[in-house]
Amino acid sequence: MRVTPAPTAQADADLTEEQQDFARAVRDFCERECGPERLKELTRGFDDLHNDEVARQMAELGWYGVAIDEEYGGSGGGLLEACLFLEETAHGEAPIGAYPVTLIVAGALERFGTVDQKRRLLGHVAEGGALAIAMSEPEAGSDVGALSTRAERSNGEWVLDGTKMWCSYAHKAREILIVCRTERSESKHEGLSMIFVPREAEGLTVIPIDTLGGKETNELHLKECRVPEDALLGDPGGGWTQLMAGLNYERVILAAAALGLAQRAFDEALGYAKERKQFGRPIGSFQATQHKLADLATKLVQARLLVRSVARMTDSDPERMLPQEASMAKLACTELAKRCALEGTQIMGGYGYATEYPMERYLRAAVVTTIFGGTSEIQKNIIAKTLGL
């Protein structure tokens, strides 16, 4: 069944002609290069969701560096352009799973990196390369400040020891940004730093974790892992402030990717409802199905407007903190992705549950979006706090 994208004119009306052309070009590329059979081949049976060759192809078109300054090999766009790219590639199932986390690290580099770090690593991203970030630990998930991985200075180097969990696409990254403790402090949020460690560094072991979504995350072990002093990103002890400064960017990136997935699941269910017949008529003619799809279509437009609004606000003032709006975008889009996939499975019945059809993959992909990058519960806590509760 061919998926027909739902109309998005409500949100596209205030995009420039250049932005609309960009989104169409990415959409056309995905339809041409990432069709169902080709996608299965590119992802080794839907198990490896990041294909280096596809990433390089997109880089050659200038898309991978869409939000990177031209000085470092990018196209000089903003967060809005990045959101358009993320939504279209997620909707088109482009196998570039490492891109969202790469973009999050690139944003931290833009804000806090030295010129040398930017030239080396942002240039790598613009060419289609991947980066990763490691925050979570066995005893530090939502409570990031509880992390215990340490880094100490020794003879002009940082020496890192500790264990990291759930490090997305570390196995694809050239370097991994390790959030670690470099100073002792009474406050758990003080004394944190961010240090780049090459994936091939001696003392770093990357262990894949099998998940519902395939090969996408890892456990890291650092044992007397040494890197130069200039691998530090930003100021020593400034890690928490740097993390907070990037939350707008991180949450909107994850929201935009989840939005593309939500739209894909919706489009699949809509197409099925128009074609599948029961009791002598398309199942989409039954009010129960119509109301489900009408509700989801409305929420998709709302979510898209929210994501693009927060992206524009961030582009207009990159230093402005938007805890409420960014958390709302992440919460709305990730929960919507899960709901679209669940409702899509229900609409498609047994076909939605079968691995022969893509809906079950969308459901597996959607489940984790409400967990990584701050759970839905954490987003609600933040929103409540901004309301004075």
Task: Provide the annotated active-site residues.
Answer: 250
Q: Residue 128's closest CA among 105, 148, 99?
A: 99
* Residues sharing a CB contact under 8 Å with residue 300, sequence separation 6 or more, in sequence order: 6, 259, 262, 263, 266, 336, 340
Q: Give the Å distances, CA to CA, from 387 to 62, 320, 374.
A: 41, 18, 19
Query: Rounded CA gap, 292 and 365, in Å?
Result: 21
Q: What is the DSSP string of 60-128?
A: HTT-TTTTS-GGGTS----HHHHHHHHHHHHHTT-SBTTHHHHHHHHHHHHHH--HHHIIIIIHHHHTT
Q: Between vectors from CA 257 to CA 380 and to CA 29, what angle results, nearest 5°?
A: 170
The token pair at 277 is: 């017949």
Q: 80 with 315: CB under 8 angstroms? A: yes
Q: 112 with 233: CB under 8 angstroms? A: yes
Q: What is the DSSP string of 361-383?
A: HHHHHHHHHTTTTS-HHHHHHHH
- The values of phi and psi at residue 160, to 5°, are -105, 140
Query: Rounded CA gap, 168 and 374, in Å?
Result: 14
> Residue 198, class by beta-carbon neighbours within 10 Å (0-12 exposed, 13-18 middle, 19+ buried)?
middle
Query: DSSP secondary-structure letter at 170?
Result: G
The token pair at 320 is: 């402005």
Q: Residue 180's closest CA among 169, 170, 195, 201?
A: 195
